[in-house]
Amino acid sequence: MKKLQVLPLLCISICGLGQIPNFPTSQAAIPSNLGNFSNSNYGSSARSVVPSVPHGGLYNQSSSEIEQQNMKMVQEDFKRAAQEQQLRNKQENYDRQQALEDSYYNLPSFSGKTGTQSYYDAYSQLASLNTDNYSVSEANFIVENAYYGNKQNYNQFKSGIQKTAKQLLQKMKERNQDTESNPDKNLMIFEYLSKGMKLGGVQHKAIKYDFEDYMGAKDWSKMFISKLLKTGSGQCHSMPLYYLMLAEEMDTEAYLAVAPNHTYVKFKDEEGEWQNLELTNGIFTANSLILESGYIKSEALQNDIYMKELSKRELLAQFYADLANGYAHKYGMDEFVGKTLDKALEYSPNNIYANLLKSTFQQVKLGYVAGQLGIKNLENPEELQNIRFYPRALALLQETKAQFNNIDNLGYVPMPEGAYEEWLGNMKGKANRQKSEALAERMKQINAEKQKQKQQEALRKAQEQKKRESEQSNEKAQYFPIDPKHL
């Protein structure tokens, strides 16, 4: 406490040392008499035309003025140098004071710890991506690779996804399915992940839900796609992202959507209607089933924090939030976390995931700053009153409160872990699974009918083209050119 109060006085006393010295004004030196060259004879007996230089007089006066001007310039140079040095001293003093103050108002940095540079590099790599046209696989790999200290191989990661995507397209051809149909390709990915299938002579099992530490509280790598590919199990974070990667490689449209403590996949069917894919249970879900969780307010829907398909820019905000979350799990909270979350909120201001993480970051920072200032218990109103003496701390308190209000205004309602597990369990009930299977069958029938119509249309056009070519050929056959010479 006393250190902070002394800082302004210390700054004033240091700055006061930089007084400009008074340089004495020198008297102009009297030049020695120069020889009189008026009578010099350079080989001619004629009178010299060189004017004589008077002793003392005008010359001495001019010389004295020049020396005075030179001395004045020297003094001004010294004065300017002294002023510049004074400004440098002031700036250095300010920087030292600012650094000391920042140590009170910024969280201690973990930059000296092994592996943090990987996260700083990952931030730069995400920032270099085209926000509207980037690879989901690449963005996700950047985030996961930072956690592993840049020791993963992107080409190996990417090639595995590409191989599966090609095999799924080949499977569609074997089934005579339309490889240009967006719904058909989505149904193929969904079947592969939820039921499993034989690809390239190898039987692939359905991806299982990993109930152990599914929030990554003990082991953050549980959230990763690389873990899913290695173990064949994942949760609502890794499963939808893996789906999007396969969709990207198969050149089909699919989107990530958010529910309380949850993410899932959306795509449009042949009739232009949105369909929800719940990969944790392997079923199609109606919007009503998602709303049954009881933790989605109307304000949340109005502010698009839930059940809306995310654009590429909004999805990139999710990756920034994942980067910040992974850093916090591995090292803890420092200013890098705040910087990364600010970037996420720049791309998607209403992103509830990033907003909740930002609120947590601000609470940790406020607690640290208050402790530095001797305010040990922020819950104590009397102690909290002392924060008004520190403008920067007061501003941080106001920002933290504003973030709480922002989250409330977005329509967020915290969902207990037990309620989330119960909701997931209810979704995989027999009735919901039957509805899902009926919906999937209906979509397959619609897609098959459209595929049939498409094939019939293609056949009709081919027959018409063949008929036109035949008629043109007959017309040519009926015409025989006659050479007059042979008549």
Percent of the chain beyond pLDDT 70?
80
pLDDT(14) > 70: no
Give the model's confidence band at 437: pLDDT under 50 very low, under 70 low, under 90 confident, else very high: confident
Counting every residue written for the chain, the total comes to 487
| 327 inside domain | yes
Give the model's confidence band at 45: pLDDT under 50 very low, under 70 low, under 90 confident, else very high: very low
Q: 193: which residues sit within 8 A by CB, 6+ positions away?
A: 206, 207, 239, 242, 243, 279, 282
| 212 inside domain | yes
> Residue with structure tokens 């791309």?
347
pLDDT(432) > 90: no
| 264 inside domain | yes
3-state secondary structure (DSSP) of residue 27? coil
Q: What is the pLDDT of residue 441?
A: 74
pLDDT(487) > 90: no
Q: 132: which residues sit within 8 A by CB, 6+ positions away?
A: 311, 312, 313
Looking at the structure of the chain, the number of domains it has is 1
pLDDT(429) > 60: yes
Q: What is the pLDDT of residue 66?
A: 83
Say what the pTM is. 0.75
| 58 inside domain | no
Q: What is the pLDDT of residue 170?
A: 97
Long-range contacts of 118-125 (CB under 8 A, 24+ apart): 118/145, 118/146, 118/147, 118/148, 118/149, 118/150, 119/146, 119/323, 119/326, 119/327, 119/336, 120/336, 121/146, 121/150, 122/146, 122/323, 123/323, 123/336, 123/339, 123/340, 123/343
User: Which uninterrupted H or E stretch holds 257?
Assistant: strand 255-259
Q: Which of 25-29, 280-284, 476-480 has the lowest mean pLDDT?
A: 25-29
Cα gap 126→110, rounded to integer Å: 21
Q: What is the pLDDT of residue 461?
A: 81
Q: What is the pLDDT of residue 406?
A: 98
Q: What is the pLDDT of residue 35?
A: 38
Q: What is the pLDDT of residue 93?
A: 62
Range of the domain at 163: 116-427
Bigger pLDDT: 59 or 277?
Answer: 277
Q: Which of 198-212, 398-412, 455-469 has the lowest mean pLDDT?
A: 455-469
| 54 inside domain | no
Residue type, 445: Q
How far apart are the two ends of the chain, measured CA to CA in Å? 124
Mean pLDDT, rounded, for 42-67: 54
pLDDT(245) > 60: yes
Q: Which of 298-312, 358-372, 376-390 has the lowest mean pLDDT?
A: 376-390
pLDDT(233) > 80: yes
| 416 inside domain | yes
The CA radius of gyration of the chain, in Å to the nearest whole number, is 40
Q: What is the pLDDT of residue 50?
A: 41
Q: What is the pLDDT of residue 426?
A: 83
Q: What is the pLDDT of residue 484?
A: 61
Model confidence pLDDT, tens digit, residues 267-321: 999 889 999 999 999 999 999 989 988 899 999 999 999 999 999 999 999 999 9
> Cβ distance 139 to 316 under 8 Å?
yes
Give the model's confidence band at 85: pLDDT under 50 very low, under 70 low, under 90 confident, else very high: confident
Q: What is the pLDDT of residue 101?
A: 63
Give the model's confidence band at 90: pLDDT under 50 very low, under 70 low, under 90 confident, else very high: confident
Percent of the chain beyond pLDDT 90?
60
pLDDT(251) > 70: yes
Helix axes 57-105, 2-15, angle to 10 degrees: 170
Quote helix, strand, coil % in the chain, to nearest 5.
Answer: 60, 5, 35
pLDDT(104) > 80: yes
Q: What is the pLDDT of residue 199?
A: 93
Q: Quickly count: other Cβ atoms within 10 Å of residue 337's Cβ.
A: 25
Q: 190: which residues sit within 8 A by CB, 6+ positions away?
A: 243, 277, 279, 282, 440
Average pLDDT, the chain: 84
Give the model's confidence band at 329: pLDDT under 50 very low, under 70 low, under 90 confident, else very high: very high
Give the model's confidence band at 430: pLDDT under 50 very low, under 70 low, under 90 confident, else very high: low
Model confidence pLDDT, tens digit, residues 109-166: 999 999 999 999 999 999 999 999 999 999 999 999 999 999 999 999 999 999 999 9
Q: What is the pLDDT of residue 439?
A: 73
- Phi then psi for residue 111, to 5 deg, are -60, -25
Q: What is the pLDDT of residue 13?
A: 34
pLDDT(25) > 70: no
Between the alpha carbon of residue 123 and those of residues 134, 232, 260, 342, 481, the distances in Å are: 15, 29, 27, 12, 77
Q: What is the pLDDT of residue 485?
A: 63
> Residue with structure tokens 């007059």?
484
Q: What is the pLDDT of residue 390?
A: 93
Q: What is the pLDDT of residue 401?
A: 97
Concatenated DSSP letters for 265-300? Answer: EEEE-TTS-EEEEETTTTEEE-HHHHHTTS---HHH
pLDDT(18) > 70: no
Give the model's confidence band at 31: pLDDT under 50 very low, under 70 low, under 90 confident, else very high: very low
